[in-house]
Chain A
Amino acid sequence: MCEALPCGGIEDGVISVKTYNCDIVIVGAGPGGSMAAKFCAQAGLDTILIEKKAEVGAPLRCAEGVSKSWLSEVGIEPDRSWIAADMVGAVIKSPAGHEFRMDGRKTGEEIGYVLERHLFDKALARDAADAGAKIMMRTGCTGVIREGGKLVGIKANSMGEPIEIRAKCVVAADGYESQVARWAGVKTVPKMGDINSCIQYRMTNIDVEQEWCEFILGNDIAPGGYLWIFPKGNRSANVGIGIRGDRCNVPAAAKYYLDKWIAEDDRLNKGQILEVASGMVSTCPGLDSAIYDNLVLVGDAARIIDPITGGGICHACRTGMYAGKVLAECNEKNDFSKEALKPYERMWRNRMDDKIVRNWMAKEKMNSIEDKQMDEIIDILSDYDLKQLDVFGILKAIKDKFPDLVEEFADLI
């Protein structure tokens, strides 16, 4: 059992760092970390969740758009407190301005929410705490501890003091930074073409449709990425952009292209900015393995994210939940080896891997398309009777109308 108070101090004149002992230590209190903490603690595991920042869920590093369908899958009940706006549809705009509208009211589909991430993340962390997880704020991991080659815990800096947290298994939920796994010897850095550099303004006093998420494409608008407008109610919205890493060819490329668009968009250029957020997102398939002896990677840290949209909240929540469930089983046998953790790898791959690989190939193809062809595709899709309002539905329509474009991964569509 974890001691409420750490041990350590001065013994025989040698200063030792404070040491905490627990079953599972989780690095990062984003959605993935909090879900893992909740499911570990619920199963009776002594769980410590550490968060480097001074506030869970802030500062923002996210466009805050989510679809609705997965929430019930991970046991999250929608709560008005963390929903900023309810979307009826999504509109994709081509470089020349052609529009393709995906209207949920026509198909009876629930589209999605735009969240208040700072409240959503806190709600999940609260669930973890309610289940019995201990949360340590302003506690950043600085390395891993190995003894005889075996991973036995992490080093951290907690409120300015060095500490050690010893655990049977470490969960790396440290998001895009993904340093915990690297300290443990796992390569997690994507290649430049599989990174999007992003910036976002929360704008107000703007004239955008308040129930539609907008995605704007174009090689001169958002090279190798897209520009988004996700409404947040009260004439405000997250207006952001992602630029493919190997196409960041001007200084501050993300900011340059976003500012350029806003200046020319009459709906936006009289608006004011309430918040500036930046960040990066991986757009590669998941790592070859998200499990190692005494180490599990969840969410962005494992590069488990949708490579075409850059959306990763649902992936983080699912992988966090799977990790918690599998760790509880491992604890029964007191075996946290890579072999024992295999059910986790199977669970996330069965649920998501094909889609992630398919969307990565679709992203690569999309990034190679000239503006003129993108105009043509969006134009034709706008008259298409889409059966399913998501990336899969769009890819099926493209397979029907432009089979050559997707022939390399047609078997995944």
Chain B
Amino acid sequence: MAIIVDFGKCLHCGGCVGSCPQNAIYMNDYILEFNDNCNSCKRCVKLCPVAALRME
């Protein structure tokens, strides 16, 4: 299972970064990166204001 980012939807707001309990997301202006600490809790998927994240 991994988080997939739809960059056509993402507004690069960083909301997912601040909401991730594992601190597994890093955003450098326009790129969202997930590291191995992601435990698939889906918090970011649920919170994203524009549904730019999904889990596959």
On whether the beta carbons of B23 and A279 are closer than 8 Å, the reply is: no
On whether the beta carbons of B18 and A280 are closer than 8 Å, the reply is: yes
Which chain B residue lies CB-closest to A279?
B13
On whether the beta carbons of B21 and A198 are closer than 8 Å, the reply is: no
Query: How far is B15's CA from A368's CA once the two chains are assembled, in angstroms?
Result: 25
- Chain B residues within 8 Å of A190, by CB: 19
- Chain A residues within 8 Å of B21, by CB: 189
On whether the beta carbons of A252 and B14 are closer than 8 Å, the reply is: no
Interface residues on B, range: 20 to 34
B47 CB → nearest A CB, Å: 5
Is A373's beta carbon under 8 Å from chain B?
no
Interface residues on A, range: 35 or more
Is A176's beta carbon under 8 Å from chain B?
yes
- Against B, the Cβ 8 Å flags (1 = close, 0 = not) of A168-180 are 0000000111110
Is B38's beta carbon under 8 Å from chain A?
no
On whether the beta carbons of A54 and B29 are closer than 8 Å, the reply is: yes
- Chain B residues within 8 Å of A142, by CB: 26
Q: Please count the residue pairs between chain A and chain B whose beta carbons lie under 8 angstroms apart in the complex.
A: 86
Query: How far is B35's CA from A171's CA once the two chains are assembled, in angstroms?
Result: 25
- Chain A residues within 8 Å of B3, by CB: none
- Against A, the Cβ 8 Å flags (1 = close, 0 = not) of B20-32 are 1101001111000
28 A-B pairs (CB sep. < 8 Å): A52-B28, A59-B11, A140-B29, A157-B28, A175-B18, A179-B18, A183-B23, A189-B21, A192-B43, A192-B47, A197-B48, A198-B15, A198-B49, A245-B43, A245-B46, A251-B51, A252-B48, A252-B50, A252-B51, A255-B49, A276-B11, A277-B11, A277-B13, A278-B11, A278-B15, A278-B50, A280-B13, A280-B49
Task: Write the residues of chain A forming the contact surface with B, with a CB cutoff of 8 angstroms.
Answer: 52-54, 59, 61, 138, 140, 142, 157, 175-179, 182-183, 188-190, 192, 195, 197-199, 245, 248, 251-255, 276-280, 282
Beyond A177-B17, A178-B18, A280-B15: 17 further Cβ-contacts under 8 Å? A52-B28, A140-B28, A142-B26, A175-B14, A176-B14, A177-B14, A179-B17, A179-B18, A179-B23, A195-B19, A198-B15, A245-B43, A252-B51, A255-B51, A278-B11, A279-B49, A280-B13
